Amino acid sequence: MDHSADRTTFKRHSSLSTLVAHFFGILAVILMLIWLLHYREGIEYGSDNPLKVLNVHPFLMYCGFLFLVGQAMMMYKTAYASHQVQKMVHGGLHLIGLVLGIVGICAAFRFHDKLNLKNMVSLHSWIGLTTFILLGLQWLLGAFTFLAPQSSSGTRTRMMPSHVLGGRALLYMGIVAALTGLAQRATMLGQSTNAESRLINFTGLAILLFGVSVDFSVALGRYN
């Protein structure tokens, strides 16, 4: 059996999946910006307009958090760099995404406070906050296991499968949170225009395909 040919095929498919993931990821960023800036009131955390504050939430939770998490996952598996550089960029992008995600979550709570709405009552909020907390714990555990110099190679080897599996599961949980959030926002908008409704749907599809492509890239990247 020609294993080198198999590895070449997997490597080519991984590279293609990475390109597709970048395409849909950037497309989702563009579509979301068009939606929030053109159809909605804009994006401003410190605004007196509650809707501008709310718009910070989807923008940062996807463009800042979920998009960077996907990039971090692909960076570790598919980037042509030394293993140490891959690890540092992987952890750094996750950390930046988590920081931006905190701001995005605070924007949602700030919006609720401005309108005297209850927090944590929707399925979206339950899935989203659970995913965010678990990903934060995953990052802390990964930092102590894979970046700390005192961690043994045996510990890293034992932890790697669960770390990868957990990361892929949390990516899909993040995608679900994003899609339920878009659906909830569309319901809040009520009688929006057909063009805006289609834009929200295409944004959701782009986010979904971004997540699937990232997962394919990571799954195939192990053969690089």
Query: What is the rounded end-to-end Cα distance, in angstroms, of the chain?
Result: 18
Residue 117 is predicted with a pLDDT of: 95
CB atoms within 10 A of CB 49: 12
**Per residue, what are the HEC states of 157-187?**
HHHHHHHHHHHHHHHHHHHHHHHHHHHHHHH
Q: Spell 62-78 as b/e; 16+ CB within 10 A means b.
A: bbbbbbbbbbbbbbbbb
Q: Where are the domains of the chain?
A: 8-222
Helix segments in the chain, DSSP class H: 3-34, 50-58, 67-78, 83-114, 123-142, 153-189, 194-221
Entry field: residues in the chain: 224
Q: Give residue-wise pLDDT tens across range 24-44.
A: 999 999 999 999 999 998 999
42 within 8 A of 36, measured Cβ to Cβ: yes
Distances (CA, A) of 21 to 11, 145, 166, 175, 202: 15, 28, 20, 13, 15
Q: Give residue-wise pLDDT tens across range 47-73.
A: 999 999 999 999 999 999 999 999 999
Place of tokens 């899609």: 179
CATH number of this structure's domain 8-222, picked from the four choices 2.40.37.10, 3.40.50.300, 3.30.230.10, 1.20.120.1770? 1.20.120.1770
Residue 75 is predicted with a pLDDT of: 86
Residue 1 is predicted with a pLDDT of: 47
The contacts of residue 173 (CB under 8 Å, 6+ apart) are 127, 130, 131, 134
Cα(124)–Cα(101) distance, integer angstroms: 15
Per-residue pLDDT of the chain (224 residues; tens, 9 = 90+): 445 545 556 566 677 889 999 999 999 999 999 999 999 989 999 999 999 999 999 999 999 999 999 999 998 877 777 878 888 999 999 999 999 999 999 999 999 999 999 999 999 999 999 999 999 999 999 998 888 777 788 888 888 889 999 999 999 999 999 999 999 998 887 766 788 999 999 999 999 999 999 999 988 876 55
The contacts of residue 119 (CB under 8 Å, 6+ apart) are 109, 112, 125
